[in-house]
Amino acid sequence: MSTLSIVSGHLIDPEHGFDGLADIHIQAGRIHAIGPVPWGFEAERCIDASGLLVLPGLVDLSFHLGGGTLAQALDTEGQAALAGGITSACLRPDQATILDRPEAVDQLLAEARRHSAMRIHPIGALTLELAGERLTEAAALRAAGCCALSQGRHPLPDCARLRAALEYAASFDLPVFLHPKEATLSHNAVAHEGAMAIRLGLPCSPAAAESIAVIQIVELARLTGASVHLSALSAARSLAVLGFLTADHTLSVTADCAIHQLYLTQDGLMGFAVDHRLDPPARAAADRDSLREGIAHGLLDALCADHCPIAEQFKQTPFAQAAPGITAAELLLSLTWMLAGQLELPFGQLLAMLTSHPARIARLEQGHLGIGAPADLCLFDPSTTWTVRPEELHSKSHCTPFLGSTVQGKVMATFVAGRQVYSYPQGC
């Protein structure tokens, strides 16, 4: 279908400061007009979006496909993402096949074209096999389609190698996504070093393992001039040192946190609940509250799902042996909608952290609804409540601490390049 009109919806586009009722008209996969029907435009399909929010498709900066065959993972997790309104996903390099060579990226993108309507943006590995030793061919990975480089959840062993890696990436003008984790303090840890983990006798690491790494990364970004994005911050002290070190606004350093970190705490470990086996771990209530304050004060640039589906058999083990991960793509927008209400912030402020801000960080053209932009958008019903049950989820994994919870807001339809790629059964 080459032309489409979505009428009577409440359009929110943080990039252009638009928040109000408006019709949107799509032609040849791009936004053609907003407002009255332009002269000569004739919609082949018209959707009544009364009572719905018309939003830019979400851009997620940390997405993992999980195990299984690549085709199956792209199918199930791509559908889960689209059901959550995510139209563009930046894939971490630590997939089942590590994205450390152009051939691996080529295979991923070829399979993605066949098995998923979601836009896939690979993040290339910073070092071969993510082993922290030999640097990958940055130019070749960029040419293959990588939007950034990263070590995934595998920290580099020392500052000297991190400096060399940042200098190398900067020479090719490639952003580097880093998960701050001081290797020696976090080695073999499975939980936050707090009262609950100590009581349960779990191997744990302090929040300082993250904040120390933040200091190292930011100072090396200053030294090398690299563009650095800090992924999945979880600790109050990390935000404090980040705010202090970047107060002069001269560095190209951004940061995000996973949506579940704004809800969960270490108390979820009670009873060795393996759904709370996360990386980074849920921390103290004070950390969660500081992350929430960080959003209100602009210390965090983006929110992400940090979607990482784990098969049931890898969770049905003792807590310390369970694989870390969470199914979160389908909850991202609902949890963000609820969070805006809890923080008494305009929803558009948080929506920017899911759309235009992450698109800018990853240097993508998506994330907004400006004239000529790709027609990637979703229709969201803020009045619908739903209970998170396995049968409601499209992901192959149902491992989430939110299972059984009732959440507010549901994606009714998702469009990529003007083509409807998801429809809620009771929706459009």
Catalytic (active-site) positions: 306
- How many helices and strands in the chain, by DSSP H and E? 12, 18
Rounded-to-integer distance, Cα 3 and Cα 65, Å: 32
To which residue do tokens 């130019």 refer? Answer: 139
Cα gap 145→120, rounded to integer Å: 10
3-state secondary structure of 324: coil
Q: Which amino acid is at 312?
A: E
Rounded to 5°, the CA angle 350-7-30 comes to: 70
Which residue from 115, 69, 118, 71 is spatially nearest to 91, judged by alpha carbons? Answer: 118
Tell me the CB-side half-sphere exposure of residue 297, using CA atoms within 13 A. 12
CA atoms within 13 A on the CB side of 252: 17
What are the structure tokens assigned to 364, written together?
């993508």
* Strand order across the beta sheet in which 228-230 lies: 58-63, 86-91, 119-125, 148-150, 176-178, 228-230, 253-258, 302-304
Which residues, other chains included, contact 55 with Cβ-Cβ below 8 Å and sequence gap of 6+?
11, 12, 13, 85, 333, 351, 355, 377, 378, 379, 380
